[in-house]
Amino acid sequence: MKSIALLEPWQVEKVRSKLASRLTQAEGGCHLLIGRGRYSNGYQLVSAGGFSFSAHRLAYELKHGPISPSALSNGNWWVLHKCDVPNCCNPDHLYLGTAKDNARDRAMRARMSITDRAQCRRWRKPEDIGTPVGTVFWEIEGEVRELREWAEKFRVPEGTLDLRLKAGWPPAHLDMRPKIGNRVPRQEKHTYKRLSGLPAVQAHLSRSTFKGKRTSTTQQRGQPS
């Protein structure tokens, strides 16, 4: 893993000045690096000492020093964005995490998509390929939470609850213990709103006239203060 530990002290100071001179202040406190070498997904590259560094990773290490060997051994070496802006190099918007943290952020922000992989062909439709998907949220009686949180509340498996919500089970029966032969109770079916990723939740809430209780999961997660 490339780190500023590979550079001489004079090279560190040189790249510090180089990076600072190329940053542009933007809304929300982001420091953006624009028009340089970049990956296809918007992350920027900066060269120093014969190496190419991810700009945001370089910015983090210039502020906090090289990532420690103990963090590397624990897998805690991913530099992640709180602001969800790939070319932001503001160290206050960056934090260390694991591959699991990175995957969680991608899901929460609906940065994943349905692919044409063989294992997906059983259930996806051709028109779904490329559709953004993310963490599953459900709105039940005006309250939006992650599926995981609803499952914990009703004490049923996530998959079971997801199927019950799609089938329109009445709220009073969502916590029935899973049992072979369980069917939708013979009552009027309910319609629940299923949302994929935090952006979809925020858009839904901004359109909704509901002013009641909103859980912390519907707020900006990890946004810098």
In angstroms, rounded to a whole number, what is the distance separating the alpha carbons of residues 47 and 43? 14
Q: Is residue 122 part of a domain?
A: no
Q: Please check whether residues 19 and 81 belong to one and the same domain.
A: yes
Q: Please check whether residues 93 and 142 belong to one and the same domain.
A: no
Is the pLDDT at 69 greater than 50? The verdict is: yes
97, 119, 150 — which closes off a domain? 97
Per-residue pLDDT band for 174 (boundaries 50, 70, 90) equals confident
Q: Please check whether residues 78 and 159 belong to one and the same domain.
A: no
Q: Please check whether residues 209 and 139 belong to one and the same domain.
A: yes
97, 118, 150 — which closes off a domain? 97
Is the pLDDT at 10 greater than 60? The verdict is: yes
Per-residue pLDDT band for 189 (boundaries 50, 70, 90) equals confident
Q: Is residue 172 part of a domain?
A: yes
pTM for the full predicted model: 0.58
97, 124, 151 — which closes off a domain? 97
Question: Is residue 143 within 8 Å of 210, Cβ to Cβ?
Answer: no
Q: Please check whether residues 55 and 139 belong to one and the same domain.
A: no
Q: Is residue 189 part of a domain?
A: yes
Domain range for 189: 135-218
Q: Please check whether residues 58 and 11 belong to one and the same domain.
A: yes
- What pLDDT score does 120 carry? 45
Per-residue pLDDT band for 128 (boundaries 50, 70, 90) equals low
Look over the chain and give the mean of its residue pLDDT values, rounded to a whole number: 77
- What pLDDT score does 130 carry? 52
Question: Is residue 85 within 8 Å of 93, Cβ to Cβ?
Answer: yes
Q: Is residue 139 part of a domain?
A: yes
- The proportion of the chain whose per-residue pLDDT surpasses 70, expressed as a percent, equals 70
- What pLDDT score does 103 carry? 77
Q: Is residue 27 part of a domain?
A: yes
What are the CB-based long-range contacts (under 8 Å, 24+) for 162-167?
Answer: 162/136, 162/138, 165/138, 165/140, 165/192, 165/194, 166/192, 166/194
Q: Please check whether residues 86 and 10 belong to one and the same domain.
A: yes
Q: Across residues 113-141, what is the average pLDDT? A: 59
* Tens digits of residue pLDDT in 143-154: 888 888 898 999
Q: Please check whether residues 140 and 87 belong to one and the same domain.
A: no
Q: Across residues 117-142, what is the average pLDDT? A: 62
Per-residue pLDDT band for 9 (boundaries 50, 70, 90) equals very high
Q: Please check whether residues 11 and 71 belong to one and the same domain.
A: yes
Total of domains in the chain? 2
Q: Please check whether residues 93 and 139 belong to one and the same domain.
A: no
In angstroms, rounded to a whole number, what is the distance separating the alpha carbons of residues 133 and 60? 29
Name 139's bridge partners: 144, 193
Q: Please check whether residues 66 and 142 belong to one and the same domain.
A: no
Q: Is residue 114 part of a domain?
A: no
Q: Please check whether residues 10 and 93 belong to one and the same domain.
A: yes
Q: Is residue 115 part of a domain?
A: no
* Tens digits of residue pLDDT in 90-106: 999 999 988 888 877 77
Q: Is residue 75 part of a domain?
A: yes
